[in-house]
Homo-oligomer: A and B are copies of this chain.
Amino acid sequence: MGLEILFATTNEHKIREAEAILKNFGIMIKPIATEKIEIQHSSLEEIAKFAAIQAYVKVGKPVAVEDSGLFIEKLNGFPGPYSNYVYKTIGLRGILKLLEDYKDLGSRKAVFVAVVAYALSEANVMIFKGVTEGYISFNIRGSGGFGYDPIFIPYNSTKTFAEMSIEEKNLYSHRGKAFRALGEWLIKNINLFKEIKEKAYKGF
């Protein structure tokens, strides 16, 4: 097949996770480094859409960007769209400190959200969202993954994301869901394009 899509990111972990998903659809990823302009006071969807349009303007070709965040229920959704910045400043220990007084797992609910925005043009951006519910663990556990993976346990598992292989994490993860949705959409649309071409050829 040989379908390849551009993915604007410099995060090696995101590239590997997206590759592991999209290869099942016969789609390759070409990572490109563009400066990602993120806007504040916005949902992940708006941030990803804005960034995808900026990336499209820069490269002049269809391009995917991804933005993700961890939303902790008892912290009113914190760190949310600013997960990256919060990770780099107060870190995992800061999050555990903030939840110190929540002693049972049921009170430590969190949601991981990933949004993949695929810009086909400046005006046409497809949005694929993946949501995974779970809990914040009591301790930092595991060495896989990145970011908040060592403190996030998805529903129906006892492991944190950082205790899973890429393949296992992808089964559960927000990013896995979002990239599967992108893969399905791409394959469906390739077939549509083919059909249209074939019909045109047959004179329909």
A residues near B (Cβ < 8 Å) are 36-41, 47, 75-82, 84-86, 88-90, 94, 97-98, 100
Contacts and interface: CB of A to CB of B under 8 A. Distances in A.
A90 B38 CA distance: 22
Contacts of A41: 36, 38, 84-85
A77 B79 CA distance: 15
A100 B97 CA distance: 9
B85 A40 contact: yes
A32 to B, nearest CB: 18
18 contacts: A36-B41, A37-B39, A38-B40, A39-B39, A40-B40, A40-B47, A40-B82, A40-B85, A41-B84, A75-B90, A76-B89, A77-B89, A78-B85, A78-B90, A79-B89, A94-B98, A97-B98, A97-B100
Contact of A82 (B36, B82, B94): B82
A94 B40 CA distance: 21
A90 B85 contact: no
Nearest to A36: B41
A88 to B, nearest CB: 7
